[in-house]
Chain A
Amino acid sequence: SQQGEEDPQALSIQEGENATMNCSYKTSINNLQWYRQNSGRGLVHLILIRSNEREKHSGRLRVTLDTSKKSSSLLITASRAADTASYFCATTGANNLFFGTGTRLTVIP
């Protein structure tokens, strides 16, 4: 029951550059969350943005939400090799959390 789609599917950048990934979803939401997953292990919660918020920051992360377009973006500034991972958006609607398709980010040292 996946309702989000992310693009790009894969992104490769040099260390120090910024990385932007986008998420589109289909139905109304309570909030939207971003998660990171390293090497097929557990997911780590990065940031949550509520449906009445438009932008949120946490360290090197900046998330925007446009509910009229049903889309969100995650910006990672000054990327590091350790940021190499898969990034998923996830939306909570009436019942539970549905994940997007994910973006595979590779940061080249």
Chain B
Amino acid sequence: DTEVTQTPKHLVMGMTNKKSLKCEQHMGHRAMYWYKQKAKKPPELMFVYSYEKLSINESVPSRFSPECPNSSLLNLHLHALQPEDSALYLCASSQDYISYGYTFGSGTRLTVV
């Protein structure tokens, strides 16, 4: 298995809703990432997990809460989002976070209404 699987592919949520994005990989990669991408912009790093521990939080608002239940799964819990949080959310994994290329999922297109 050489893929990163993200669910759902599309999500529409209200500003008072709580939802979660899910990401799964079975390549044995020990680093996993959440990126946010706005239209016509490059991906921006949100969080990095290394060996299931949060190692980097790029000053992301607390309404985004990451979780890494095990080495294959990564979740992003969403609560009280704003319309400006609408974006493509990308999950990625790599063998480590320095020396190897990243494998990206196809993303979740999030719309906050």
Contact = CB atoms under 8 A, between A and B. Distances in A.
Nearest to A50: B99
Q: How large is the interface on B (under 10, 10 to 19, 20 to 34, 35 or more residues)?
A: 20 to 34
Interface string A38-59: 0011111100100000000000
Interface stretch (B12-20, B37-45, B64-72, B76-84): B37-45
Given A88-B42, A96-B48, A96-B56, A40 B88 contact: yes
Nearest to A9: B40
A42 B48 contact: no
Interface of A: 1-2, 30-31, 33, 35, 40-45, 48, 88, 92, 95-102
B61 to A, nearest CB: 15
B76 to A, nearest CB: 15
Given A1-B44, A101-B42, A45 B98 contact: no
B91 to A, nearest CB: 9
Contact of A48 (B101, B105, B107): B101
3 closest A-B pairs by beta carbon, nearest first, are A99-B42, A45-B101, A42-B106
A95 B96 CA distance: 10
Given A41-B107, A95-B56, A100 B97 contact: no
9 contacts: A1-B58, A2-B44, A31-B98, A42-B105, A45-B103, A92-B97, A95-B97, A97-B97, A98-B45
Contacts of A33: 101-102
